[in-house]
Structure 1
């Protein structure tokens, strides 16, 4: 899993089976300071994250497991919207 910031949305009128009604968001990975920390990813969003929010993203097989017995071609999924976080001995956290 990693922390990220939602920076955009993706619209696709044609999708693979199992992806109907699935919202796709562009997520910029960030470190605990909120600094960019890697290449952007497109993540499925079933919990309603919005642009500008900090989120927790799961990748790979754990992301696909969330879709039960469906064979969905998902590599990343937003699994949480961050309210705040704490790193002992450091100043920072979610906005």
Structure 2
């Protein structure tokens, strides 16, 4: 899993079976200081995240498990909208 910020949406009128009702978001991975931390990712979203929100994204097989055995071609899934977090740096 990784932390990210929603920076946009993707609209696709034609999708593979099982993806018909999935919203697709563009996610910028971030670190815990809100700095960009990697390549953008397109992630499926069933929980209603919006542009500007911090989210938790699951990738790979764990993302597909959320579809109850259906074979859906999803590599990344928004699994949480972050309200807040607290991180203590080592040495503080």
TM-score by length of 1: 0.92
Paired residues, what number? 90
In the TM superposition, what is the alpha-carbon distance from 1:69 to its structure 2 partner? 1.4
User: Which residues in structure 2 correspond to 1:22-41 (within 5 Å)?
Assistant: 22-41=22-41
* 1:11 equivalent in structure 2: 11
3-state DSSP class of the match of 1:63?
A: helix
Aligned to 1:93: none
What CA RMSD, in Å, does the superposition of the two structures yield over aligned residues?
A: 1.0
Aligned with 1:62: secondary structure?
A: helix
Map of 1:54 onto structure 2: 54
1:88 and 2:88 aligned: yes
4+ residue segments displaced more than 4 Å: none
Gaps of 5+ in 1: 91-95
Give the TM-score, by structure 2 length. 0.95
